[in-house]
Amino acid sequence: MDQEMTIKLETAERRRRGNSCCTSYTAIFARRNSLQINDTERRVIRMIEEDASPSCWRCGCVTGYPDSMFTQADQELLARYGLERRFEI
């Protein structure tokens, strides 16, 4: 791989407060050696690097999209937040 691929990782996290439960969604643009990602997110990056045929990959609560699948909105988010900066979606 000549140029390291940028991956958009979207994570759903469920939180309980008393009897109610809510789900929050975050995203981060990352690369294989990013420090700001967890093991599940790292696993999704490996899946994408090994098999670039589906349009997205999922592992548990994390969905990953390779840069070849970025929309115009994704490109704008990457320009706004950059690499390794988690943001709410």
What is d(CA 37, CA 30) in angstroms, rounded to the nearest whole number?
A: 8
What is d(CA 27, CA 34) in angstroms, rounded to the nearest whole number?
A: 14
What is d(CA 66, CA 86) in angstroms, rounded to the nearest whole number?
A: 17
Which amino acid type is present at position 13? E
24-80: pLDDT as tens digits: 999 999 998 898 999 999 999 999 988 767 778 888 899 999 999 999 999 999 999
Task: Report pTM.
Answer: 0.86
Boundaries of every domain in the chain: 1-30+56-89
- Tell me the pairing of strands 20-30 and 62-66: unpaired
Radius of gyration of the chain (CA): 14
What is d(CA 85, CA 14) in angstroms, rounded to the nearest whole number?
A: 20
